Amino acid sequence: MSLPKVQEAEALATRSEMLYRAGQLAEAEAACRKLAGLLPDNAMVHYNLARVLKDRRKTDAAATALRKALALAPAMAEGWLNLGTLLGEAGRWTESAEAFERGLAANPQSWQLMSSVGRVYVTLGRRREAEALLRRSLTLAPAAAPTLTNLANLLADAGSLAEAIELFDRALAAAPTMAEALLGAGHAARKLGAIGKAIGFYERAAAARPADLAIRARLVEARLGVCDWRDVASLRHDLIEPALKTPGAVGPLMALTLPLELPSRELLAFARQRAEAVAAEVAPLRSKIKPGRPGPRDRLTIGYLSGDFHDHPTTHLMRGMFTAHDRSRFRVATLALEPDDGSDYRRFVRQHSDLFLELGPMDTVDAAQAIAAAGVDILVDINVHTRGNRLHLTALRPAPVTVNWLGLPGSSGASYMDWAVVDAVTCPPGHDGDFCERLAVLPHCYQPNDRDQVIAATAPSREECGLPADTFVFCCFNQAFKIEPVMFGRWMRILDRVPDS
């Protein structure tokens, strides 16, 4: 290259960097493109162009520029990291994983790439591989807060809370204001029932990232769980209205249980937000699910999918239903997502199922494949959006027919959910439009109950229950988040008017 060309290239490089730092992105892009025309074989020129394009939200163009840079410098770890991250942010998870994998192959000791592959594997449901990679990454960088947080979240989701909390503590020792670690630590504390501690973590996360609606929602949700209603007056303006435009901030279950009467169209909108996000996450996995063997043709196989097949209100309701199926027409497959709690309820359900599958430890693809291989004809998702769900399995459609029933008294918002079982309370006449599913309307109540429920031979005394001996006691058997300030105020007025209560 002639001296004038060298000088021009140097001037363009300096100018593009100055423009980028000044936030003049359109001008920076023009300078970078001109420089790329002068130095088409310079990997860093294409890398810097990609940086500008990413900030201008030109995802495809940025990915193209990064691929040009990596074709010229295949071992550029930072290039693979940026490409994988860019594709992941666009929801292109399979391509993201491939970019990180190629980068790791060229840089086998890069803990950042190792951790990034693991993080994307979690999203893709490849949890065993993710855990192995994240643990390997920590051997190279034991104090890497992002890796510690990703592994802790994975373990917390799997129920290994003690180790998860230890990892969150290590992450926060390394990065005390890291919002992701604070958020994960809050989730783990809530699972242990340490609500006060969880609120503390959420408050720190909100302080670290005040504009993050999802963090704000978790804080509000935790406070409502202990009847702290300080946020109620501002909920509509500060959370609900912006969350309707920010998918993922407020989940459908939270929307349903807030102390506000949200219009049904908004409840459906929140359900759709999450259902569509799940569909996008499993899209790259659909080709991996092989058609299952057909079930016995003389009987339909109904698969009940839930994380509540233990000593839980859902199984208390369903217990008698397992013996009520007409076994000449139906085969019952129970698809359990949670560990065995050793309860009589778990044993009863297992005993009265034609097939009982433990799906909890399985990756998303393996679990969906197990459902397909079992020949399930009708997959009944009992959790849908409620705690312990794995909606990703239903989204992969491992059965010809999918049904939303029992756990969520509302619409799934999912295009991959065919039917919802409802009654006149969960879907009043004229409210069919509140559901995206076809409706199977039961004439009385959509919930079953166990007519053979065992009743204790003797009732506990008031003293054994910690209740006063001579006082009239009003009771409400619910979790505290279902109590709202107006109703609580009425309770207080009742107590005030009823002597000795």
Tokens of 66: 């990064």
318 near 348, Cβ under 8 Å? Answer: no
The residues, ordered by sequence, that sit 6+ positions from 444 with a Cβ below 8 Å of its Cβ are: 423
pTM: 0.88
C-beta neighbour count of 465 within 10 angstroms = 9
Distance CA 73, CA 461 (A): 77
Specify the 3-state DSSP secondary structure of 331. strand
pLDDT tens-place string over residues 89-109? 988 888 999 999 999 999 999
Angle between helices 93-106 and 77-89 (to 10 degrees): 170
> Which pLDDT value is given to residue 487?
94
> Tell me, what DSSP letter sits at residue 1?
-
Task: Identify the structural domains of the chain with CATH numbers, from first to last.
Answer: 292-441 (3.40.50.11380), 459-501 (no CATH)
Distance CA 6, CA 443 (A): 82
> Which pLDDT value is given to residue 367?
96
Distance CA 386, CA 65 (A): 42
> Which pLDDT value is given to residue 137?
98
299 near 330, Cβ under 8 Å? Answer: yes
Specify the 3-state DSSP secondary structure of 435. coil
> Which pLDDT value is given to residue 296?
61
The residues, ordered by sequence, that sit 6+ positions from 23 with a Cβ below 8 Å of its Cβ are: none
178 near 145, Cβ under 8 Å? Answer: yes
Helix (H) or strand (E) holding 306: strand 300-306
103 near 110, Cβ under 8 Å? Answer: yes
Residue-wise pLDDT tens for the chain (501 aa)?
Answer: 566 777 888 899 999 999 999 999 999 999 999 999 999 999 999 999 999 999 999 999 999 999 999 999 999 999 999 999 999 998 888 899 999 999 999 999 999 999 999 999 998 889 999 999 999 999 999 999 999 999 999 999 988 999 999 999 999 999 999 999 999 999 999 999 999 999 999 999 999 999 999 999 999 999 999 999 999 999 999 999 999 999 999 999 999 989 988 999 999 999 999 999 999 989 988 999 998 776 567 899 999 999 999 999 999 999 999 999 999 999 999 999 999 999 999 999 999 999 999 998 899 999 999 999 999 999 999 999 999 999 999 999 999 999 999 999 999 999 999 999 999 999 999 999 999 999 999 999 999 999 998 888 999 999 999 999 999 999 998 889 999 999 999 999 999 999 999
Tokens of 454: 């065992």
> For strand 300-306 and strand 378-381, is the pairing parallel, antiparallel, or unpaired?
parallel
> Which pLDDT value is given to residue 91?
83
146 near 174, Cβ under 8 Å? Answer: no
